[in-house]
Amino acid sequence: MSQRPAPASVPADSAAASTPAAAPQLADSAFLKAARGEEVPHTPVWFMRQAGRSLPEYLRVREGVGMLESCMDPELVVEITLQPVRRYGVDAAIFFSDIVLPLKAVGVDLDIVPGVGPVVANPVRTMADVEAISDLTPEHVPFITQAVRGLVGELGATPLIGFAGAPFTVASYLVEGGPSKEHARTKAMMFGAPDVWDALMRKISGIAAAYLRVQVEAGASAVQLFDSWAGALTPADYREHVMPHSTRVLAAAGELGVPRIHFGVGTANLLDLMGEAGADVVGVDWRTPLERAIPLVGDRGVQGNLDPTLVFAPTDVMTARAAQVIEAGRAARGHIFNLGHGVIPSTDPDQLARLTEFVQSYDLSR
Q: Rounded CA gap, 157 and 143, in Å?
A: 23
Options 58, 87, 91, 173, the catalytic residue: 173
Options 4, 36, 53, 202, the catalytic residue: 53
- The question of whether 62 is a catalytic residue gets the answer yes
Q: Rounded CA gap, 133 and 109, in Å?
A: 10
Distances (CA, A) of 206 to 148, 166, 167, 329: 21, 11, 9, 33
Instruction: Report the half-sphere exposure of 5 (CA within 13 A, side-chain side).
Output: 2
Is residue 311 within 8 A of residue 348, CB to CB? The reply is yes
Q: Rounded CA gap, 177 and 121, in Å?
A: 7
Closest-CA residue to 205 (of 277, 149, 272): 277
Distances (CA, A) of 304 to 1, 196, 323, 365: 22, 35, 12, 21
- The question of whether 53 is a catalytic residue gets the answer yes
Options 49, 248, 300, 354, the catalytic residue: 49
- The question of whether 362 is a catalytic residue gets the answer no
Q: Rounded CA gap, 278 and 252, in Å?
A: 10
- The question of whether 98 is a catalytic residue gets the answer yes
Options 4, 36, 73, 98, the catalytic residue: 98
The residues that are catalytic are 49, 53, 62, 98, 173
